[in-house]
Amino acid sequence: MNRLFSMTVLLGLILSGCAQSTQEAAVETITVGLECAYAPFNWTQVEASDTAVAIDEDGAGYCDGYDIQVAQTIASGLGRTLVVKKIGWDGLIPALTNGEIDMIVAGMTDTEERRQSISFSEPYYQSDMVLIVRNDSVYATATSLQDFNGAAVIAQQNTFHDTVVDQIPSVNHLTPLGSFALLTNSVVNAEADAMVSEYPVALSIVASNPGLSIVQFAAGSGFELSFEDTTVSVAVALDATDLVASINEILAGVDAATRNQWMADAIDRQPAE
């Protein structure tokens, strides 16, 4: 009886120690979810580098980009090690709400609808919305949304980008697609006349596709956008108030010049394809 009791106690201590070690390991890391397919915000690469982080999946390669720089800064500020999960856009919020990841740093806009299920930090980047067209298109010399009257325009599904398409007069609003790679192919193959994009992402796309160009608009001639529409934020669980506060404090310590330099560096080092 005494021996059995002792073995039971010993086993309990071992299991307790394992559980404690697992909990400590979880506290020492913070897991970010992102597509790793939205350059220059984030992308996948085969080779390791000083700025890339290994994707938490065997043989999946490394993730780098502006979002990784932001996520690394947050992890360092929290004193944790960054873990990267590569997740498709539509799977990011479910992964956050079910506890698979701790935060989303993926060029995501803070919207009222999303705030019903998750929380957001203060914005970490502000951009502008542009259209990408073929160089040989009649729209290549456009200067206003009016010039796209009747054009076939496409954007990514379940994003703010898709909601602004209808600001174009008499637009042929094409069915949105799930990734920027698919959107780019749609324009390259003349299935769409134009695609909606944030300016830094557009720079990345045209750098890899010399047959495409960016149409930017003068003030008052382009999309009607609010400050919230043109910013991206870090998303966390709805009740993670302490984490949001910590992230906001860390982001507040990064000035605008540094953020802009991060983006310029990301654009410079992004893969050619």
Q: Are residues 113 and 236 in the same domain?
A: yes
Query: In terms of DSSP bridges, do strands 118-126 and 231-237 run parallel, antiparallel, or are they unpaired?
Result: antiparallel
Tell me what pLDDT residue 188 has: 97
Q: Show the domain range for 73.
A: 29-126+229-269
Residue ending a domain, among 187, 206, 224, is 224
- Coil vs helix vs strand at 174: coil
Tell me what pLDDT residue 167 has: 97
* Cα separation, 193 vs 132, whole angstroms: 8
Contact 188, 209 (CB under 8 A): yes
Classify residue 134: in a domain, yes or no. Answer: yes
Half-sphere exposure of residue 235, counting CA atoms within 13 Å on the CB side?
27
Contact 121, 247 (CB under 8 A): yes
Q: Are residues 67 and 201 in the same domain?
A: no
Residue at 8: amino acid letter: T
Out of 19-33, 128-142, 186-200, least confident range: 19-33
Say how many domains are in the chain.
2
Tell me what pLDDT residue 204 has: 87
Tell me the pLDDT band of 24, cut-offs 50, 70 and 90: very low
Q: Are residues 108 and 162 in the same domain?
A: no
Residue 147 gets which letter from DSSP?
A: G
Tell me the pLDDT band of 235, cut-offs 50, 70 and 90: very high
Classify residue 254: in a domain, yes or no. Answer: yes
Residues above pLDDT 90, as percent of the chain? 77
Contact 204, 267 (CB under 8 A): yes
- 150-180 confidence digits (pLDDT tens): 999 999 998 989 999 999 999 999 999 999 9
Q: Are residues 74 and 115 in the same domain?
A: yes
Contact 153, 177 (CB under 8 A): no
pLDDT at 1 over 70: no
Classify residue 263: in a domain, yes or no. Answer: yes
Q: How many CB atoms lie within 10 A of CB 59?
A: 6
Q: Are residues 88 and 144 in the same domain?
A: no
- Coil vs helix vs strand at 257: helix
Classify residue 18: in a domain, yes or no. Answer: no
Classify residue 21: in a domain, yes or no. Answer: no
Compute the average pLDDT of residues 137-153: 97
Mean pLDDT over each residue of the chain, to the nearest integer: 90
Residue with tokens 């350059």: 39
* Cα separation, 62 vs 86, whole angstroms: 10
Q: Are residues 117 and 249 in the same domain?
A: yes
Half-sphere exposure of residue 244, counting CA atoms within 13 Å on the CB side?
14
Tell me what pLDDT residue 85 has: 98
For 117-267, strand residue ranges (E) read 118-126, 129-134, 152-154, 172-173, 194-198, 212-215, 231-237
Classify residue 67: in a domain, yes or no. Answer: yes
Q: Are residues 60 and 120 in the same domain?
A: yes
Tell me the pLDDT band of 212, cut-offs 50, 70 and 90: very high
Q: Are residues 151 and 164 in the same domain?
A: yes
* Cα separation, 125 vs 231, whole angstroms: 6
Tell me what pLDDT residue 32 has: 98
* Cα separation, 61 vs 54, whole angstroms: 6
pLDDT at 218 over 90: no
- Coil vs helix vs strand at 166: helix
Q: Are residues 207 and 248 in the same domain?
A: no
Classify residue 15: in a domain, yes or no. Answer: no
* Cα separation, 202 vs 200, whole angstroms: 5
Classify residue 14: in a domain, yes or no. Answer: no
Tell me what pLDDT residue 15 has: 52
pLDDT at 220 over 70: yes
- 249-264 confidence digits (pLDDT tens): 999 999 989 998 999 8
Residue ending a domain, among 224, 239, 261, is 224
* Cα separation, 254 vs 273, whole angstroms: 30
Q: Are residues 168 and 116 in the same domain?
A: no
Residue ending a domain, among 193, 208, 224, is 224
Out of 21-30, 166-175, 191-200, 211-220, least confident range: 21-30
Task: Report the CATH number that the domain containing residue 206 is assigned in CATH.
Answer: 3.40.190.10
- 93-110 confidence digits (pLDDT tens): 999 999 999 999 999 999
Tell me what pLDDT residue 219 has: 84
Contact 11, 82 (CB under 8 A): no
* Cα separation, 163 vs 166, whole angstroms: 7
Q: Are residues 97 and 141 in the same domain?
A: no
Q: Are residues 133 and 188 in the same domain?
A: yes
